[in-house]
């Protein structure tokens, strides 16, 4: 790292701290906490920029070391987000270092093939789906995990020496928990088998789901035993783009060492939207519920509609606190079901803003429909799964301001 790289990183750390210490950040944290404590004062608004492929270019980076390039990218990205988007994103006044953990495989190789679109994006991909027959299930086994403490501590020390006098560097465990049981099921057996085996091979389907559940339980318990957990009741995204601020966690008997029951977990099952509620409750929900009971609070859902199976889900997972309401959900039905007892975590349709000329009328109608259904709910509106804005970053703030005008936030 030469002098120029060092000074750039220190300057960025200084700017981060300037933004993190603004009074508006403390106010946003207070309001996020009120929302997740189910006493929302106003709708909270976020535009998740992480998926945007034209929000930031690596050509702007000056660091040459791969680890420091990642740090610089995050610094520049989040600073730009706060300065330009104007939503309720919170920057905390410290830099968080996570334990570096690697996982083994399930006994089969999961490979991903990607392609490039006409504009140079790398969004499209597919998996090889290595489990083709019921006999292939015998090849599967739970994964093994390993933490590289030496590398993690080395990186934490490097950053502390680099800008620790400007921005505190904190070693704070792990990030969000996303078991993705049916996600890995899909990667292993493919969509055709996922559908057909509910009829043709139900025992094999249950075997895989049990293996995936047991794999996650073993991993989470290992993290707990090894002291690798970190509280996620702050700016961490604990669900579908949703931060975890709450006073409910950690538990009242928390003594300084995080346990699973002090944390949020994000459960979802996007891959089973075509499965009936009855078959979902038979083949998938019990395994999700087993994981949910390990944790203190649950954020449930992502892109799947939930109105036709919500009653079954909440009966099986009573510690759900926030619920993802995708464009495919019945807003009115879910607004009535959730009321003030949960967080109504709304996800607008991505395509109206991700085309060369944004459809502002369509976006306005979408938010108006949300507000009509969730006016009396604990509401957060999170725009995510947007991949391209054609270099026009001004449309992000315009969307935020439009939403705030409609919902009075």
Angle between helices 202-225 and 285-292 (to 10 degrees): 10
CA distances from 353 to 26, 85, 362 (A): 30, 14, 9
Number of domains in the chain: 1
Q: Are strands 145-147 and 101-103 parallel, antiparallel or unpaired?
A: antiparallel
Confidence of residue 120 (pLDDT cuts 50, 70, 90): confident
pTM of the model: 0.96
Q: What number is the average pLDDT over the span 67-93? A: 98
Who wins on pLDDT, 383 or 176? 383
* % of the chain exceeding 70 in pLDDT: 100
Q: Tell whether the torsion through CA atoms of 368, 370, 373 and 377 is positive or negative.
A: negative
Confidence of residue 180 (pLDDT cuts 50, 70, 90): very high
Q: What is the pLDDT of residues 340-382, one digit of tens each?
A: 999 999 999 999 999 999 999 999 999 999 999 999 999 999 9
Q: What is the pLDDT of residues 219-269, one digit of tens each?
A: 999 999 999 999 999 998 999 999 999 999 999 999 999 999 999 999 999
Q: Residue 101 maps to which CATH number?
A: 3.20.20.210
As to burial, measured by CB atoms within 10 angstroms (0-12 exposed, 13-18 middle, 19+ buried), residue 244 is buried
Average predicted confidence (pLDDT) for the chain: 95
Domain extent, residue 166, equals: 3-407
pLDDT at 119: 72
- Measured from the Cβ of residue 126, the count of other Cβ atoms closer than 10 Å reads 11
Q: Are 321 and 36 in contact (CB under 8 A)?
A: yes
- Distance from C-alpha of 55 to C-alpha of 57, rounded to nearest angstrom: 7
CA angle 81, 83, 85 (to 5 degrees): 55
Q: What number is the average pLDDT over the span 202-213? A: 98
- Distance from C-alpha of 224 to C-alpha of 143, rounded to nearest angstrom: 17
Contacts of 148 (CB under 8 A, 6+ apart): 100, 101, 102
Question: Is residue 114 scored above 90 in pLDDT?
Answer: no
Confidence of residue 115 (pLDDT cuts 50, 70, 90): confident
pLDDT at 394: 97
Which residue in 372, 362, 321, 367 sits closest to 347, CA to CA?
367
**How long a stretch of residues is the chain?**
409
Q: What number is the average pLDDT over the span 19-36? A: 98
CA distances from 407 to 35, 42, 346, 364 (A): 15, 8, 13, 11
What is the three-class DSSP state of 199? helix
Q: Are 395 and 36 in contact (CB under 8 A)?
A: no
């Amino acid at each position: 790292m030469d002098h120029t790289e060092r000074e750039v990183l220190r300057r960025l750390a200084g700017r981060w701290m300037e933004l993190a210490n603004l009074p508006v950040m403390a106010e946003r944290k207070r309001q996020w906490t009120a929302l997740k404590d189910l006493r929302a004062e106003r709708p909270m608004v976020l535009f998740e920029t992480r998926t945007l492929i034209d929000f930031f270019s690596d050509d702007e980076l000056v660091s040459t070391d791969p680890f420091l390039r990642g740090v610089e990218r995050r610094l520049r990205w989040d600073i730009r987000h706060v300065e330009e988007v104007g939503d309720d994103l919170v920057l905390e006044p410290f830099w968080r270092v996570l334990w570096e953990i690697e996982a083994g495989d399930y006994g089969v190789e999961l490979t991903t093939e990607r392609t490039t679109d006409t504009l140079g994006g790398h969004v499209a991909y597919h998996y090889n789906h290595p489990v083709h027959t019921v006999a292939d299930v015998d090849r599967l086994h739970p994964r093994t995990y390993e933490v590289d403490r030496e590398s993690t501590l080395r990186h934490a020390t490097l950053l502390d020496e680099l800008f620790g006098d400007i921005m505190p560097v904190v070693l704070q465990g792990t990030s969000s928990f996303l078991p993705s049981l049916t996600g890995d099921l899909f990667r292993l057996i493919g969509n055709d088998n996922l559908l057909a085996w509910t009829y043709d091979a139900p025992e094999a389907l249950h075997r895989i789901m049990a293996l995936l559940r047991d794999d996650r339980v073993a991993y989470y318990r290992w993290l707990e035993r090894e002291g690798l957990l970190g509280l996620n009741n702050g700016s961490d995204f604990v669900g579908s783009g949703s931060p975890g601020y709450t006073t409910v966690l950690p538990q009242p008997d928390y003594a300084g060492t995080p346990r699973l029951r002090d944390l949020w977990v994000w459960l979802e099952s996007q891959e089973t939207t075509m499965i009936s509620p009855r078959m979902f409750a038979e083949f998938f929900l019990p395994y999700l519920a087993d994981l949910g009971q390990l944790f203190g609070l649950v954020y449930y859902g992502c892109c799947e509609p939930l109105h036709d199976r919500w009653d079954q889900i909440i009966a099986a997972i009573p510690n759900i606190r926030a619920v993802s309401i995708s464009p495919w959900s019945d807003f009115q039905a879910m607004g009535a079901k959730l009321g003030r007892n949960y967080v109504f975590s709304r996800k607008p349709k991505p395509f109206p803003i991700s085309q060369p000329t944004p459809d502002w009328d369509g976006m306005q109608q979408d938010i108006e429909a949300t507000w009509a259904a969730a006016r009396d709910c604990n509401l957060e509106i999170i725009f995510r799964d947007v991949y391209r804005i054609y270099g026009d970053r001004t449309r992000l703030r315009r969307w935020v301001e439009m939403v705030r005008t409609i919902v009075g936030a």
